[in-house]
A and B are shown apart, each in its own frame.
Chain A
């Protein structure tokens, strides 16, 4: 079992994406740098930088505040919100209802999409189905969500 606030978890998500081109090829190539920020009460924020290039996730690395600021956009929220999202994906095989990444980021009270450049922010919309499919990949992994 892997905790979601770990590089190991996102490494596994990246591996899953890279091993399943049949899920991503129909969506087409994507180019974006995303930073996921999970705010934790006791251990400070966990920030992971994800690089999407073509049909692959080619980079997973923990990053700091400056690294997060350089991404196209950041997805920021408390760890509990992320755990809830991944638990929902695990339960249904994919995100549903108000727990899709677009819905969460649009309402913005649990997970927000932030960035300094509207052109970077708009990549969240331009590649949204790819990003959702990437997160939905966690349904195939053994994950600790709380």
Chain B
């Protein structure tokens, strides 16, 4: 049962990581945009999410959606809330990444007549991600740990299941120490996975051993 829970935790973390990365990247692009209203909107989103607790956000989504008649399963609500949350943090990190790309690169890309989207996609994105990769990794691991909070809206992930087990077995200390160890293991697993991903998507460093 705990292993089932761990699997749900990993799934939540994986889906929210991918979606959150996409949203965060668009958000960072939006904040760098020349359109005033767009960058203000993105800034507002980031500040609002970063300055309120995740638990309140998830309650707002969970109870809020059901009160306007949209009933989703707890898991989908958890994914939506996690994505919104991590999107804001990733947005901030990616903005820092975009800012580290040398101005000459932007100008060179513009001189080649690339459109704004092409500049981001072909020129800026990969070095930016490469530079903030450690921050991204730890943010996504924090996200995995934060997914424990979704147990509060009855998602049966690792913490939720553990809470149920300690309720029926009256062995809270043992149960929570075991899942503590499991979270620790999951965090190590994610670190390893991100290291593997880095090997695949940043071939330059592997091939030439050059620093960025």
Physical interaction between A and B? no
Interface residues of B, Cβ cutoff 8 Å to A: none
